[in-house]
């Protein structure tokens, strides 16, 4: 296992063991002994199928339901989108794009307090785990195209709910 730090504080990419032979591919995106120092509990697990060009997000959970997330691409190609919304963080307001695909062996750990979204570049299936339960009443988000780094992404479709999220500028101003 190899850990790759990204520009956002506490955002990690974990390169896990991948074995490929004539039968196919074997990979372990989650092993408790490997992840115990930075993802101690898996409270909920989701498997999401998304069509090419669809963006889901940018979402986050408010306290007391802050969620750390673990993301792994099972099929296709995705762009994992993260914005640091933690005022105490040294990277507050920073954003990151991480490319994931079925052909790599990367697991992304998104810190609590960050907005998160996924853009499917191809039809895709991905695994999401969180360390806390989802609370609809405590969900919020940021409008994706108000984040400068994300503004030119090839988004074809987004939900009505996500289209009506506040801008990053408004979030940072009202913090």
> Tens digit of pLDDT for each residue in 135-165?
999 999 999 999 999 999 999 999 999 999 9
Is the CB of residue 163 less than 8 Å from the CB of residue 141? Answer: no
Higher pLDDT, 19 or 38: 19
Model pLDDT, residue 175: 61
Q: The domain 2-174 is classified under which CATH number: 3.90.1300.10, 3.40.50.720, 2.60.120.10, 2.40.50.140?
A: 2.60.120.10
Model pLDDT, residue 119: 98
Rounded to an integer, the average pLDDT of 30-49 is: 82
Q: What is the pTM of this model?
A: 0.92
DSSP string, 22-34: TTEEEE-S--HHH
- Outline where DSSP puts E strands in 16-172: 18-21, 24-27, 44-50, 54-61, 69-75, 77-84, 95-101, 106-110, 114-120, 124-130, 139-141, 157-158
CA distance 8 to 25: 31
pLDDT (tens digit per residue) in 61-118: 999 999 999 999 999 999 999 999 999 999 999 999 999 999 998 999 999 999 999 9
Query: Cβ neighbours of residue 138 under 8 Å, at least 6 residues apart?
Result: 61, 62, 63, 64, 65
């Amino acid at each position: 296992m190899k850990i790759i730090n990204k520009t956002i504080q506490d955002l990690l990419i974990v390169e896990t063991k991948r074995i490929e032979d004539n039968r196919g591919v074997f990979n372990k995106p989650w092993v408790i002994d490997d992840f115990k120092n930075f993802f101690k509990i898996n409270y909920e697990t989701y498997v999401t199928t998304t069509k090419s060009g669809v963006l889901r997000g940018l979402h986050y959970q408010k306290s007391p339901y802050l969620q750390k997330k673990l993301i792994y691409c099972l099929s296709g190609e995705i762009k994992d989108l993260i914005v640091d919304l933690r005022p105490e963080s040294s990277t507050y307001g920073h954003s990151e794009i991480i490319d994931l695909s079925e052909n790599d062996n990367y697991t992304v750990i998104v810190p609590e307090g960050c907005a998160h979204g996924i853009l499917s570049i191809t039809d895709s299936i991905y695994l999401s785990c969180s360390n806390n339960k989802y609370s609809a009443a405590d969900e919020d988000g940021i409008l994706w195209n108000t984040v400068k780094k994300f503004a030119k992404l090839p988004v074809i479709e987004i939900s009505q709910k996500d289209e009506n999220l506040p801008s990053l500028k408004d979030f940072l101003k009202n913090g």
